[in-house]
A and B are shown apart, each in its own frame.
Chain A
């Protein structure tokens, strides 16, 4: 099962894609995606219900979040009401240690994204702040990466024994599916996704180079 684990819709301040148009695009272009995860910036979208769209298009549509820490941006999968009370998702100055520990405590999984990117990526800060404890997975392929950002992520992840996921980081419709993560098991809910991530049952796929 192939899921794009990093997408943004118009719910994000810099997102320009409607979720229905993502679905139409995946089908019209026959992308190999089985679904995608909406990771809106600095929030968890409690309001939106995409179950009807998921059924109409035969796609798995899940919701997560992208929060901001002193080590850069972090995807959080498995957000619960309790986790939303544990730290302020809207803050731009969260502590990575808090995001990691609270996510773990509440059964979620926190994953630093585009870690090879200047300023907003984890490895841009490790020289100054040290290697953070508790990271298990990082995003090693990001659809918006420039220059050597993905390679920096891959090299550091290998050196630190992190597992790697991939996501397109799409903000417009036509950018969905540039990178994705392959799972050998079926994912039908956010709990399924978190369990698969915890089990290490996945493989990052870069579709940008697949033609």
Chain B
């Protein structure tokens, strides 16, 4: 269900899962475009030599996907804040799922708090946080 106004939102409702494009090609291109070019974002073998499990998805790309997940759910949403804690690297070329769930509704301010997570195929949380989202009344 696409959300248009605050009255459409219920406490505890789950946002539709968003499957981010973590392909090495996209990740490497994004990193280069934002000036983060480096082997750790574009080359699995080189990243492993740095002690990583593989090339990483940049944190700001993960945040971009989190925003995309929220806008997919509620196109008119104005995202006031995305607050993330990076627990473990999101590895490129590995499938991940981005999920959200409504954990607070402020009717007076028109704000919704959403718990957000990025998990891998094993269900391990790699990134978690919250988003504060303003919706039309």
A16–B87 alpha-carbon span in the complex (Å): 14
Q: Is there an interface contact between B130 and A16, defined as CB atoms closer than 8 Å?
A: yes
Produce 1/0 per residue, B107-137, CB < 8 A to A: 0000001010100001111001110000000
The A interface, classified by DSSP as helix, strand, loop or mixed, is loop
**Set A28, A146, A172, A208: member contacting B130, Cβ < 8 A:** A172
Binding site for A on B (CB under 8 A): 11-12, 83, 85, 87-88, 101, 103-104, 113, 115, 117, 122-125, 128-130
Closest residue to A18 on the B side, CB-wise? Answer: B104
Q: Is there an interface contact between A16 and B101, defined as CB atoms closer than 8 Å?
A: no
A-B pair number, CB within 8 angstroms? 46
Q: Is A21 an interface residue (CB 8 A)?
A: yes
A25-B103, A174-B115 known; 13 other A-B pairs, CB under 8 Å?
Answer: A14-B85, A16-B83, A16-B85, A16-B130, A18-B104, A21-B113, A25-B12, A28-B11, A146-B88, A147-B122, A172-B130, A173-B104, A174-B117
Q: Is A175 an interface residue (CB 8 A)?
A: yes
Residues 166-211 (chain A) with a chain B CB within 8 angstroms: 171-175, 208
A16–B83 alpha-carbon span in the complex (Å): 8
A4–B63 alpha-carbon span in the complex (Å): 30
A28–B11 alpha-carbon span in the complex (Å): 8
A17–B85 alpha-carbon span in the complex (Å): 13
Task: Please indicate the chain B residues that have their CB under 8 angstroms from the CB of A172 in the complex.
Answer: 103, 115, 117, 128-130
A181–B40 alpha-carbon span in the complex (Å): 41
Q: Is there an interface contact between B12 and A144, defined as CB atoms closer than 8 Å?
A: no
Q: Kindly name the residue among A16, A28, A29, A208 whose own CB sees the greatest number of chain B CB atoms within 10 A.
A: A16
Q: Is there an interface contact between B104 and A16, defined as CB atoms closer than 8 Å?
A: no
User: Smallest CB–CB gap between B129 and chain A, Å?
Assistant: 6
Q: Is there an interface contact between A173 and B103, defined as CB atoms closer than 8 Å?
A: yes
A17–B104 alpha-carbon span in the complex (Å): 10
**Set B12, B87, B125, B128: member contacting A28, Cβ < 8 A:** B12
Q: Is there an interface contact between B11 and A144, defined as CB atoms closer than 8 Å?
A: no
User: Smallest CB–CB gap between A69 and chain B, Å?
Assistant: 21
**Set A24, A147, A173, A208: member contacting B115, Cβ < 8 A:** A173
User: Smallest CB–CB gap between A48 and chain B, Å?
Assistant: 18
Q: Is there an interface contact between B125 and A21, defined as CB atoms closer than 8 Å?
A: no
